[in-house]
């Protein structure tokens, strides 16, 4: 007997829900699931969406970088590229290694007391393997691994900075019976060996080895003397490095790492079944300070960079930094100690082109259906309160002759998402364009029709993958009737963000900022994070190419009063604000890093901005008005707001594995995913969990670092 396939309605086409669709549509399920993805507007990608605008240029929601520990994300994308290649579409999408470029260069900026900025630039060493490769036994995601890596790092720094060649034994302590190592460590600690540089290097070697084999049984030997060792280490560092401005940054990193180790030891995190979640209620800076980090390190660019990159500012207010210690430390340790291949990976083109176009194409080939222009307005909770009984949508636009919408357009021979709908395909397009319909705005409710799907007929299972900011609007019955959903919406916070991109007729070294294309953090407010993206320019459709393109990104403070739901102009007003912020930023702090972009009177040389070649009026723009030809945006839609991780919020997250409702699972970077963070990897892990909840696959042990402490 052939049972009919199970109809799965997936709402939202961001990283998380695309992952769920990818898993459920795999051949191993043999067509068991009949999947439809419902997506508002004309493109997939959500917070990671990008589009192509004039001159085929890439227009992003904001700067997106993949980190070298995004194992689950890379595994999916590697499989996707391999599948497309096997189906003869390799020419369109290429090998995954063409789609991502390894990057190991970071820069952090620090405002010096004399005014101006000093910059710390580093090249992180490439590591063996590639993200998404099978993992070995050690997994690289355990606390023991992080701790051992930290001790290894210190030991290397000690030997490298001042000791090597001065008679210190450099023998590694990497092998040996843990009990024997523990006994040696105990005796060295008793003898106060760490009081000398040579002894300290030896002690650190032992600590690294022991950390790798730490068990509750030998924990006392390992951690008993750790505070004394850390304070000796701090003393050593102060003597060697603090007075030396060259090494000041190293001292700050070391000071913060020591505070982390001491804090984790004092809180007995190493063998706590909750792992780093045990530190969830602490604010990250406060936690580090409590355990010995100096005020100076807490104001260092590393800490500011951590908060900037995780947009950890409540209400987008820079005076309200908020990041839980548990997730802050987990994210930092994974970033620095679990990467493979490169520390970071930059996408060759827009995230839409590199991630969502191949996923869309491969899944369409597999038979997954896509309903664009479908905005969920209500997920109906049955009277029995145990399942979803209906899904109601605004159909924002209809496709001519009842056809399926074909969303991709070619740019430089590659299928890409446009920054506007492909209007020719839509019924009533002229009217919509004349009236300026914004099909991605929460505040623009204009529509062509409505549609209600019923359980048992149109769908059996639901995957809700919208951003958490949209949940109160699309699942109000759940929020009103289920206290857990209410507390999740109240406590898992989000912030609006702002981004702008400029295309320049000069490259950055010409302007005074050295290569190689650093990602720069902890820079001046409001655009603290920026990156030279010269490598994407050849993918754009310019007749005469600009020399580079630079992306800036940051939080955007909320207004004192939230906008009314019918305030259709709200996104345009916020966009106008971002434009002013961007122009002032170019006239102001950017001079610290691109001195060559200013004329003799100190004014920004607006003429280095590459105008829109397709628009003669743009070519005539002079002075500050020329900025009109660049790209900027305010990400203020509820679903587009960036998810932050404030202290104490983790317990309010609901897991995709939660079985409260018979036919519903959730996914998104706002869920309890094993890596509860506003990032691609957290979203992908959540999508994998949602697929597991519905199908039992993938196995939980196959989700990298899901059960990591």
Burial class (CB in 10 A: 0-12, 13-18, 19+), 614: middle
Backbone angles phi, psi at 470, to 5 degrees: -90, -15
520 binds ligand FAD (CB under 6 A): no
State the CB neighbour count (10 A cutoff) for residue 525.
14
Which residue in 8, 9, 15, 379 binds ligand FAD (CB under 6 A)? 15
What's the DSSP call for residue 278? G
474 binds ligand FAD (CB under 6 A): yes
Least CB distance to ligand FAD at residue 529 (A): 9
380 binds ligand FAD (CB under 6 A): no
Applying CB under 6 A, the span of 10-18, 78-86, 117-125, 571-579 interacting with ligand FAD comes to 10-18
Beta strand spans in 83-219 (E): 100-103, 105-111, 117-123
Task: Name the residue among 557, 580, 566 with its Cα closest to residue 495.
Answer: 557
Site string for ligand FAD, 438-467 (x = CB under 6 A): ---------------------------xxx
CB 600 within 8 A of CB 469: no
224 conformational bin, left if phi > 0, alpha if psi -120 to 50, beta if neither: alpha
SS3 for 223? Answer: helix
Closer by beta carbon to ligand FAD, 99 or else 229: 99
Which residue in 470, 517, 578, 597 binds ligand FAD (CB under 6 A)? 470
331 binds ligand FAD (CB under 6 A): no
Closer by beta carbon to ligand FAD, 67 or else 288: 67
- Identify the sign of the CA torsion 364, 369, 373, 377: negative
Residue entry with tokens 């083109």: 349
The DSSP-derived string for 367-435 is T-EEETTEEEEEEEEPTTSSSEEEEEEEE---BGGGPPP---EEETTEEE-BSS--GGGBTTHHHHHHT
Which residue in 518, 642, 661, 675 binds ligand FAD (CB under 6 A)? 642
CB 128 within 8 A of CB 110: no
What's the DSSP call for residue 563? P
Least CB distance to ligand FAD at residue 60 (A): 8
Whole-angstrom Cα distance, residue 643 to residue 652? 13
Which residue in 42, 46, 346, 533 binds ligand FAD (CB under 6 A)? 46
Whole-angstrom Cα distance, residue 553 to residue 528? 7
Applying CB under 6 A, the span of 9-17, 28-36, 425-433, 535-543 interacting with ligand FAD comes to 9-17
678 binds ligand FAD (CB under 6 A): yes
639 binds ligand FAD (CB under 6 A): yes
Whole-angstrom Cα distance, residue 213 to residue 175? 10
The separation between the first and the last C-alpha atoms of the chain, rounded to the nearest angstrom, is: 45
Residues contacting 241, CB < 8 A, separation 6+: 161, 247, 248, 250, 251, 254
Applying CB under 6 A, the span of 36-44, 108-116, 215-223, 612-620 interacting with ligand FAD comes to 36-44
685 binds ligand FAD (CB under 6 A): no
Least CB distance to ligand FAD at residue 44 (A): 6
579 binds ligand FAD (CB under 6 A): no
Which residue in 10, 488, 499, 556 binds ligand FAD (CB under 6 A)? 499
Which residue in 497, 663, 695, 704 binds ligand FAD (CB under 6 A)? 497
Applying CB under 6 A, the span of 79-87, 274-282, 326-334, 673-681 interacting with ligand FAD comes to 673-681
Whole-angstrom Cα distance, residue 671 to residue 335? 21
Closer by beta carbon to ligand FAD, 470 or else 504: 470
Residue entry with tokens 């990008």: 50
680 binds ligand FAD (CB under 6 A): yes
Site string for ligand FAD, 599-638 (x = CB under 6 A): ------------------------------------x---
Applying CB under 6 A, the span of 1-9, 45-53, 405-413, 582-590 interacting with ligand FAD comes to 45-53
Applying CB under 6 A, the span of 288-296, 319-327, 604-612, 672-680 interacting with ligand FAD comes to 672-680
Binding-site ranges for ligand FAD (CB under 6 A): 11-17, 38-40, 46-48, 61-65, 375-376, 465-467, 470, 474, 497, 499, 553, 635, 639, 642, 668-669, 678-680, 683
């Amino acid at each position: 007997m052939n049972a009919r396939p199970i109809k799965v309605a997936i709402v939202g086409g961001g990283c998380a829900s695309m992952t769920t669709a990818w898993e459920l549509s795999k051949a191993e399920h043999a067509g068991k699931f009949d999947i439809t993805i419902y997506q508002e507007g004309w493109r997939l990608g959500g917070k990671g969406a990008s589009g192509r605008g004039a001159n085929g240029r890439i227009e992003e929601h904001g700067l997106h970088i993949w980190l070298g520990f995004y194992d689950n994300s890379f595994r999916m994308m590697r499989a996707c590229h391999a599948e497309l290649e096997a189906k003869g579409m390799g020419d369109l999408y290429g090998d995954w290694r063409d789609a991502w470029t390894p990057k190991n260069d970071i820069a952090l900026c620090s405002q010096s007391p004399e005014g101006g900025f000093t910059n710390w630039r580093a090249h992180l060493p490439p590591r063996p393997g590639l993200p998404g490769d099978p993992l070995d036994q050690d997994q690289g995601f355990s606390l023991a691994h992080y701790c051992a890596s930290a001790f290894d790092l210190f030991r290397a720094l000690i030997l490298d900075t001042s000791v090597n060649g001065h008679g210190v034994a450099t023998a590694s302590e990497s092998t040996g019976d843990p009990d024997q190592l523990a006994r040696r460590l105990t005796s060295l600690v008793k003898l106060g060996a760490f009081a000398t540089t040579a002894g300290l290097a030896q002690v650190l070697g032992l600590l690294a080895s022991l950390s790798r084999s730490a068990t509750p049984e030998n924990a006392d030997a390992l951690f008993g003397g750790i505070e004394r060792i850390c304070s000796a280490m701090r003393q050593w560092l102060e003597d060697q490095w603090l007075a030396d401005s060259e090494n000041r940054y190293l001292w700050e990193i070391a000071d913060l790492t020591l505070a982390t180790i001491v804090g984790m030891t004092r809180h007995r995190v190493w063998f706590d079944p909750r792992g780093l979640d045990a530190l969830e209620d602490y604010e990250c800076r406060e936690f580090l300070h409590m355990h010995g980090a100096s005020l100076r390190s807490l104001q260092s660019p590393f800490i500011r960079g951590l908060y900037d990159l995780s947009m950890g500012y409540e209400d987008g207010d820079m005076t309200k930094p908020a990041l839980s210690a548990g997730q802050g430390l987990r994210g930092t340790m994974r970033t620095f100690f679990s990467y493979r291949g490169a520390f970071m990976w930059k996408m060759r083109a827009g995230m839409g082109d590199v991630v969502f176009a191949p996923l869309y194409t491969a899944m369409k080939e597999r038979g997954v259906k896509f309903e664009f222009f479908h905005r969920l307005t209500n997920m109906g909770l049955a009277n029995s309160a145990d399942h979803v009984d209906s899904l109601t949508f605004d159909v924002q636009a209809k496709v001519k002759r009842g056809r399926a919408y074909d969303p991709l357009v070619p740019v430089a021979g590659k299928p890409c998402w446009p920054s506007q709908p492909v209007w020719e395909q839509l019924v009533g397009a002229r009217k919509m364009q004349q009236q300026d319909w914004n099909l991605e705005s929460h505040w623009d409710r204009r529509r062509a029709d409505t549609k209600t799907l019923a359980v048992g007929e149109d769908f059996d299972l639901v995957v809700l993958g919208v951003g958490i900011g949209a949940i109160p609007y699309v699942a109000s019955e759940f929020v009103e009737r289920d206290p857990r959903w209410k507390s999740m919406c109240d406590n898992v916070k989000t912030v609006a963000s702002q981004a702008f991109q400029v295309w320049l007729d000069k490259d950055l070294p010409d302007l005074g900022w050295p290569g190689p294309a650093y990602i720069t953090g902890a820079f001046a407010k409001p655009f603290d994070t920026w990156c030279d993206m010269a490598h994407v320019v050849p993918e754009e459709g310019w007749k005469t190419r600009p020399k580079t393109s630079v992306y800036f990104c940051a939080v955007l403070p909320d207004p004192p009063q939230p906008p009314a739901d019918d305030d259709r102009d709200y996104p345009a007003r916020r966009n106008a604000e971002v434009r002013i912020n961007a122009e002032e930023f170019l006239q102001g702090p950017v001079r610290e890093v691109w001195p060559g972009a200013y004329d003799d009177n100190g004014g920004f040389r607006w003429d280095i901005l590459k105008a829109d070649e397709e628009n003669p009026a743009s070519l005539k723009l002079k002075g500050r008005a020329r900025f009109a030809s660049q790209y900027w945006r305010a990400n203020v839609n509820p679903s587009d707001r960036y998810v932050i991780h404030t202290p104490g919020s983790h317990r309010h997250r609901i897991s995709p594995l939660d079985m409260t409702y018979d036919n519903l699972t959730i996914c998104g970077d706002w869920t309890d995913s094993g890596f509860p963070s506003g990032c691609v990897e957290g979203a992908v892990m959540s999508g994998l969990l949602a697929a597991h909840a519905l199908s039992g696959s993938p196995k939980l042990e196959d989700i990298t670092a899901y059960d990591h402490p």
